[in-house]
């Protein structure tokens, strides 16, 4: 499995406040980005996997919603997470 407990905890420590703060917007955005990158790599080799493609589109929408929430509430946190993860827009 590509996403173990240790990898998740590492993502939340790096982008959230700590490993147990899994509800922070930055941590969730970082987790979604990790999953999106993994699914994108999978789809490069398996072009006709439409279920994965649908999952990828849903994840991108969820991440976009969280980013929209973050830009409304705190622009500085939004800019920091965009720069940290290398996202566009």
Block residue for tokens 């905890």: 9
pLDDT tens for each residue of 44-84: 999 999 999 999 999 999 999 999 999 999 999 999 999 99
Least confident of 3-7, 15-19, 76-80: 15-19
Helix axes 75-85, 5-15, angle to 10 degrees: 130
Closest CA to 34 of 71, 7, 70, 57: 7
d(CA 53, CA 47): 9
Residue whose pair of structure tokens reads 């720069």 in the numeric block? 83
pTM equals: 0.92
């Amino acid at each position: 499995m590509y996403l173990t407990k240790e990898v998740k905890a590492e993502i939340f420590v790096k982008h959230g406040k700590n490993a147990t703060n899994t509800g922070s917007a930055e941590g969730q955005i970082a987790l979604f980005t990790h999953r999106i990158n993994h699914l994108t790599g999978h789809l490069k080799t398996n072009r006709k996997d439409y279920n994965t493609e649908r999952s990828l589109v849903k994840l991108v929408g969820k991440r976009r919603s969280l980013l929209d929430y973050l830009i409304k509430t705190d622009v500085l946190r939004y800019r920091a997470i965009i720069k940290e993860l290398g996202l566009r827009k």
